[in-house]
Structure 1
């Protein structure tokens, strides 16, 4: 397997780093102010939380993978550890080596299982099983947040809209639920989160934990 190192102008060569950045941005969005210009006040705390959280694929924290031990959390510093006899350096190195081998073996197994699970989810998301009908309420993916510079801290979804016409190839015509006006563009169902009566949004078989609400002005800009 060839691993390409990313550079300042070719970040796309390192997909794992891009995924890490996306996780950090999602956490920052929940804390920053409306302008999104105070993210530097929270980044260190979010990084610490990320480094000490269990990864879904490896089942280990990034800190544990890096240093072969668990991180010292604030609660750990408030409790004095019991006194113990200092071990010889050779025993410490042996224990470290054994721990590294055990962690690597565990990570390899967990990543293999995670890849199978991710493939299953990918196949479900890209299947034609999503069924929508006129009258269904949906959120629209915020393309500005994804592509326009300076918009990373904006919500990923805007809405609420209603499907009024179903076209071919998964295309639909929408209207703004608040104003009743038709949106000027035609959208594909791949860019929707379906809103249900339980105040949740669904995308195929997956659900988001928090319903996104945005200002009326954002969705109004999409009207014809």
Structure 2
């Protein structure tokens, strides 16, 4: 894999931190379950199939289509819609095997194109999100002998209500390239 410049990242149910997409998907499923289960939270397992179906058939902005369409290459049809399609299929049941094979190859190529388009849409969405995030970051220039406060990001995991997350003041003793500084 390194020959082609591909890096392998392990993502399992036991370590979802490696994939932000897993967390986003789980958050979406959780939101659907919260709305459908209501007061009786014991019945969440009964509603899980419906929640998964709703999640897979809902339009996702980052990929520009539904996950169902991304996997199967077709829009999802409800059983009532399928009844009409069955009558159409019965009329055209005697297909030529060569024509059917060519049609299937065309469908598989269209599915690959759809997946490529979803990948490109995802990259565009991520670039826009990054651009919005970066536009809100203030560029700070630090000099030697400046006095600064240090933000303790670990404290929010084990937060105490009235304890401040800022410590200091500290004095900058050295400024390294790319924004790294040494404090005393």
The bucket for the TM-score relative to the shorter chain is: 0.5 to 0.7
What is the aligned partner in structure 2 of residue 110 from structure 1? 121
In the alignment, which of 24, 28, 36 is matched to residue 33 of structure 2? 28
The aligned counterpart of 1:185 is: 161
Which stretches of structure 1, 4 residues or more, deviate above 6 A after TM superposition?
none
- Other-structure match for 2:178: none
> Which runs of 5 or more residues in structure 2 are unaligned?
1-5, 139-148, 152-159, 165-184
Structure holding more helix per residue: 2
TM normalised by structure 1 equals 0.50
Tell me the SS of whatever aligns to 1:42.
helix
The reply to whether residue 6 of structure 1 matches residue 17 of structure 2 is no
Structure 1 residue 74 and structure 2 residue 79: aligned? Answer: yes
Task: Measure how far apart 1:74 and its partner are.
Answer: 3.0
TM-score, normalised to structure 2's length? 0.59
1:86 aligns with 2:95: yes
Aligned counterparts of 1:78 and 1:187: Cα–Cα separation in 2: 63
Q: 1:38 to 1:8 in 2, by over 3 A?
A: same
Task: Give the drift of 1:87.
Answer: 5.1
For 1:23 and 1:119, how far apart are their aligned partners in 2? 21
More strand by share: 1
Larger radius of gyration: 2
| Alignment RMSD (CA, Å) | 3.1
Q: Note closer, same or farther for the CA distance 1:74–1:112 as it changes in structure 2 (3 Å cut).
A: same
Please list every run of 5 or more consecutive structure 1 residues that lacks an aligned counterpart in the other structure. 129-167, 171-183, 189-224
- The within-5 A match list for 1:43-62 is 43-62=48-67
Aligned length: 135
